[in-house]
Structure 1
Amino acid sequence: MSEEVVSSPALTLPSWLYKIKKAAWIGVAAVGLLITAILVVPHFVDLGLFKRTYLPLVEEALNRRVDVGEVRLSLVPTPSIRLSKLRVSDNPAFADNTFFSAQQVQLRVKFLPLLRGRFEVTELVLDKPVFNLLKQPDGTFNYADIANKKTPAHARREARKRSEGTRAPDASPAPLVIPSSMRIRDGQLNVTTKGQTPVVIRGIDLSVKEFSGEAPFPFEAAFSYPGLHTISLKGELSYQEEKALLELKNNRLKIQDLTFPVQGNISSLFTTPRVQLDLRSDNVDAQPVFQILSVFNLAPRDTEISGPMGLYMNVSGPSNSLVTQIRGLFKGVKVNGKRALKGNLSGEVFIRLPLGGGSVSKRLQGNGKLVARDGELTNVDLINKVQRVTGMIGLSKDERREATTFRTMEADFIIGGGFAEFTRLYLVNPQLEVNGNGTMTIEQPTLNLTIDTSLSPQASARVGRGHASTFFKDSHGRVVVPLKVTGPVENPSVNLNAQKIAETGLPQKMDKGFSSFFKQLFRNR
């Protein structure tokens, strides 16, 4: 009789319980490794050496003193060196000014090279940096000494070769490797000009990724400007170190609900940077364009403008003496100004604004030729004066109303030295025709115009019965009244042009009588 051997099954943990246990041990090991790294790695990284070695390099490059509060190494969430309260002083000529400061600078570095004493930076992050630019009366800025400091390309190459060469084990760490990424978060730019209100640009954000000298890399920039919505520029940059050249590729500028393609470059990066940027759009709404120009006091704020126009803009020149040029092509734009006129505007305007000392109105240059059609005057005071004089010569209420309208109004002008010089002014309506010229100050618009007002044949017949009217008639039998318009645009004075009156041969007594009549008729009230 054989004995049967009975074997009991081996006791095993369920598979899911085993996996949980294994994962727990892995987690504990990872945490332990992380804690060990946090405790041990800082002993292998000499932050004092970092501070003594690299900050002087920055000071030498900027020719300015650099101070930092605390330098710390952080391994979580990514290895990084954090510099708090960074401050870059200005040059001795501006001893009381801080050229640049940042609440925190973060240098994200690679972990393994860090253990070997190398600081290979993968990303540079500036938190709340503040740039303070001071503009001198001659138009130069407090960074001019940096721009003029030349560092030849061959010297930079030699320095890089020396840093990449073979070093003894006890040699100092290699210089910082240029990061492939850079970010600025919530930056601020202060531009101060003596005697003027400082310009403060807040909310500056910048992101550069995949920086390379071999291929274009993406970037985004945005900032806020007083009176405007957030302005942003997005596209690609191409960097050529041998040429010290930075090119913009496929860039789009967004400002005040408008989008413009932008192209150009910045050259001579290591000496005095030169800018060459172009912006153009063949069909853009004039309303937001003039809202932008009004912020810079280049267009009246109380004028409503809308309709299609072409806009072409160029910014060029050395960074310390830039010149901005704008050409506007109006294509039947509707204009409604409270102090001048309303109508449909066509024509072209070119303005040029050099960067420099003095007010914008004094530096502004340009010219233009504009035509307004099917409109009317909107200056209430001037309308009342025109209607009073046309009523005195016998025009009906409807005819007086027509005298303040126009079928066509033309203006050719030149801008310079704080003035707009009108080389030709022309207006025609059913009751009169006006030809003239003169000037207008730009900063506080004040007129100094000489105009000849020719009445229509019907109106001339009504006022032509008097003896004095014969002195004012032209070859077509129309009465032509020479006038002088002077004073603020809001309330100009209108008088007979004494010089023109003398040329007509009008007797002195009659001249005084007419002058007295016009002074009473057009007195400021």
Structure 2
Amino acid sequence: MKKLFLGLAVVLVVLVAVVAYGLANLDSYLNENRDWVSSQAGAALGRPVTFGEIGISFSGGLGVRVEDLRIEDDPAFSSDPFVTAGAIDLRVELLPALFGNIEVHHVVLRSPAITVVQTAKGLSTSTLGSGEEPAEETPEDAELPAFTVQSIEVSDGTLRYVDKTASPAVETVVSHLDFTASNVSLTGPIPFEVEAAVLGAERQNVRINGEVRNLQNPEAEFTLTSRELELGPAQPDVPADALRDLEVTGQLSMQTAGPRVNATLRSPSGTFAGAAYGDLAIDFGMQDQVASIGKLAVALFGGTLGATGRYDMSKADRPRFDLKTQLSSMRLGKIAATLSPKADGSVQGELGGTLDLAGAGTSWEQIRTTLTGQGKLLVRDGVIKDVNLADAALSGITGVPGLSSLLSPDLRRKYPQAFGTGDTVFENMDWKLAVRDGVASFDDFEFAARDYSVAGKGTYALENRLDLSTVMTFSQALSDSLVEAAEPMRYLRNSDGRVAIPVKLFGPLPGIKPVPDVNYIAKAASRQAVGSLLDKALGPKKEPPAEGQAPQPTPEGAASDAVRKGLGGLFGQ
């Protein structure tokens, strides 16, 4: 970039040389020696330079117009021109010029187009000024006089940046570029102002004010503002992502390793991924196309998101990110509706936790396959719409012999929060996760509702498929009621005396299905059925004798006990 500034300064010097020659020979001499002037400029820049007619006027000072300027690019980078301009106008103070002191009142570049190319070798501007030294002066040659420039103006310019390190190449265009700078000198300071259209906008949508210090080792302070900066085109039924009332303030320095930026970004409102945000604040630095995020804070989805990390844009087609995030009080329903319109209203709750993620890509399909990370998330005061986990799990076992009367109307009336609605209402849901190879693995998954809890582990494929193996454990009161409704349920009590059944949760979100392990439950319930059958077939067990009395065995009793033990062992009793 330093060479770009110096290269443009060389062009300006050459143009001033044109002015000097113009004073002596005017239009005819300049046009006759146009090839010599362009060769001298080309030798200084290391690029072929051509231009059209040169015109001279004396209205309001000495005026010079150079038409159809063209500076070729280094062929090692591009076959397209580096700079083209429809016309360049210079206005020079006439009286000082008569005494050999060129005071340029202003320079105007009309409709210039500048192309900068990035390849594995570096930027195309890096070879500016690397041409041969100008030929030895002829007797007609004159020393370039000293000069000053009061202002430089660019009108309706275009700046193209082409990154050929990406596959395919990525092109960024800044159009409708208007630029003004005053008090131009190599040592500065140089105030400047830029207005331009970026990110494909048809009209100017950003404005930059600032000051450049020392063109030989450029440093600048700047403020960028935009009333509304759209980040991409709108999609059907989804508004375009946009930063509103944007303000970016920072410092830019040109170093050997490349440009370096330290800046702060503020935007009080806007949209991201179709969702409204507020109070966006980012403190970041950038060098070698890598942004280091020292702080990111934003109000999003009814809560807040904080983050630190880095974003590597050195590969434009697959930028890499590494973020550590903290979520607080974010509304799960708003997140679900943003991720999938079909999920709108399917889930509610307040999301919080921490999540560290790394990956690469510009689309979800790219990011999904590269995403890695870990975290711990929690949801409070939630609702899963259109599915009742407890009702579905218990309804799934009513076909087991002895459990058909399990979900009686009395039981449903007694526990309306568990069975009186088609939704699942819960108090909290916590889980740890690790992401790798397109799959999020859940450990220590815990879900607590008023009358039951669910615990387990499993996976969520990022293609949208859940697969959890869990145990649903009912409260002591509900466990007692379940046993009262269906006596075989007592065989499903755990060591705490609470009924617990294995349940599989699987399917796409939303629309997961709870499926109880019927085989396990049937086996447990069959213990009671086998016991009843044995009692009927072999008679009730003998009561133990009174204390101090010996039992009175009988042949029939001994045989019955033997059969009972054998069948009981067969059925796991």
TM-score range (shorter-chain normalised) is 0.5 to 0.7
Change in CA separation of 1:226 and 1:127 when aligned onto 2, cut-off 3 Å: closer
Q: Residue in 1 aligned with 2:179? A: 207
1:104 counterpart (86, 91, 94): 86
2:245 counterpart (239, 258, 270): 258
2:296 counterpart (322, 327, 340): 327
Q: Which digits, 9 at most, give the CA deviation of each residue in 1:172-192, with x for residues without a partner?
A: 546997885343625254656
Q: Which digits, 9 at most, give the CA deviation of each residue in 1:51-103, with x for residues without a partner?
A: 22223333x3xxxx5564635436479834444263644643655xx364545
Q: Residue in 1 aligned with 2:321? A: none
When normalised by structure 2's length, the TM-score is 0.54
Amino acid corresponding to residue 181 of structure 2 in structure 1: K
Q: Residue in 1 aligned with 2:44? A: 57
Counterpart secondary structure, 2:41: helix
Change in CA separation of 1:170 and 1:228 when aligned onto 2, cut-off 3 Å: closer
**Separation (CA, whole Å) in 1 of partners of 2:128 and 2:522:** 73
2:142 counterpart (150, 163, 171): 171
Deviation at 1:305, TM superposition (A): 4.6
Deviation at 1:414, TM superposition (A): 6.3
Q: Residue in 2 aligned with 1:144? A: 122
Amino acid corresponding to residue 316 of structure 1 in structure 2: M
Q: Residue in 2 aligned with 1:92? A: 76
2:113 counterpart (114, 119, 129): 129
- Within 5 Å, which residues of 2 pair with 1:262-281? 262-268=249-255, 271-281=256-266
Q: Residue in 1 aligned with 2:315? A: none
2:383 counterpart (376, 381, 394): 376
Q: Residue in 2 aligned with 1:404? A: 424
Q: Residue in 1 aligned with 2:392? A: 389
Deviation at 1:426, TM superposition (A): 5.0
**Separation (CA, whole Å) in 2 of partners of 1:470 and 1:39:** 112
Q: Residue in 1 aligned with 2:284? A: 314
**Separation (CA, whole Å) in 2 of partners of 1:328 and 1:374:** 25
2:27 counterpart (24, 42, 48): 42
Q: Which digits, 9 at most, give the CA deviation of each residue in 1:313-347, with x for residues without a partner?
A: 4242314x555676345064555233454444556
Deviation at 1:43, TM superposition (A): 3.5
Counterpart secondary structure, 2:111: strand
- Asked whether 1:187 is paired with 2:164, we answer no
Overall identity of the aligned pairs, in %: 9
Counterpart secondary structure, 1:92: coil
2:450 counterpart (407, 411, 430): 430
Change in CA separation of 1:466 and 1:346 when aligned onto 2, cut-off 3 Å: same
**Retained in 2: the 8 A contact 1:468–1:506?**
no
**Retained in 1: the 8 A contact 2:207–2:224?**
yes
Amino acid corresponding to residue 288 of structure 2 in structure 1: P
Q: Which digits, 9 at most, give the CA deviation of each residue in 1:91-116, with x for residues without a partner?
A: 43655xx3645453535352547776
Deviation at 1:224, TM superposition (A): 3.2
Q: Residue in 1 aligned with 2:210? A: 236
**Separation (CA, whole Å) in 2 of partners of 1:507 and 1:249:** 75
Amino acid corresponding to residue 424 of structure 2 in structure 1: T
- Within 5 Å, which residues of 2 pair with 1:491-506? none
- Asked whether 1:483 is paired with 2:504, we answer yes
Q: Residue in 1 aligned with 2:548? A: none
**Separation (CA, whole Å) in 1 of partners of 2:139 and 2:493:** 100
- Asked whether 1:452 is paired with 2:470, we answer yes
**Separation (CA, whole Å) in 2 of partners of 1:57 and 1:100:** 15
**Separation (CA, whole Å) in 1 of partners of 2:78 and 2:493:** 66
- Asked whether 1:70 is paired with 2:55, we answer no
**Retained in 2: the 8 A contact 1:129–1:184?**
no
Deviation at 1:374, TM superposition (A): 3.9
Q: Which digits, 9 at most, give the CA deviation of each residue in 1:427-454, with x for residues without a partner?
A: 4443554556666566xx4345545353
Amino acid corresponding to residue 215 of structure 1 in structure 2: P
Deviation at 1:409, TM superposition (A): 4.6
Structure 1 unaligned residues grouped into runs of 5+:
1-36, 135-140, 295-300, 511-525
Q: Which digits, 9 at most, give the CA deviation of each residue in 1:475-508, with x for residues without a partner?
A: 472525353546x556667767x9xx99x99979
Amino acid corresponding to residue 281 of structure 2 in structure 1: L
| Structure of larger gyration radius | 2
**Separation (CA, whole Å) in 1 of partners of 2:40 and 2:103:** 11
Q: Which digits, 9 at most, give the CA deviation of each residue in 1:336-373, with x for residues without a partner?
A: 23345444455666767789999455677776665544
**Separation (CA, whole Å) in 2 of partners of 1:232 and 1:214:** 24
- Asked whether 1:248 is paired with 2:221, we answer yes
**Separation (CA, whole Å) in 1 of partners of 2:127 and 2:49:** 22
**Retained in 1: the 8 A contact 2:282–2:293?**
no
**Retained in 2: the 8 A contact 1:348–1:369?**
yes
Amino acid corresponding to residue 170 of structure 1 in structure 2: D
Change in CA separation of 1:477 and 1:81 when aligned onto 2, cut-off 3 Å: farther
Structure 2 unaligned residues grouped into runs of 5+:
1-21, 230-242, 299-303, 305-327, 397-406, 527-573
Change in CA separation of 1:187 and 1:82 when aligned onto 2, cut-off 3 Å: same
Deviation at 1:456, TM superposition (A): 4.2
Deviation at 1:389, TM superposition (A): 1.7
**Separation (CA, whole Å) in 2 of partners of 1:85 and 1:361:** 48
- Within 5 Å, which residues of 2 pair with 1:211-226? 211=184, 213-215=187-189, 217-225=191-199
**Separation (CA, whole Å) in 1 of partners of 2:286 and 2:430:** 32
Counterpart secondary structure, 2:43: helix
Change in CA separation of 1:324 and 1:455 when aligned onto 2, cut-off 3 Å: same
Counterpart secondary structure, 1:257: strand
Deviation at 1:423, TM superposition (A): 6.3
Q: Which digits, 9 at most, give the CA deviation of each residue in 1:235-294, with x for residues without a partner?
A: 32343456x3524355556542133343243331xx33142333255x944xx2xx34x3
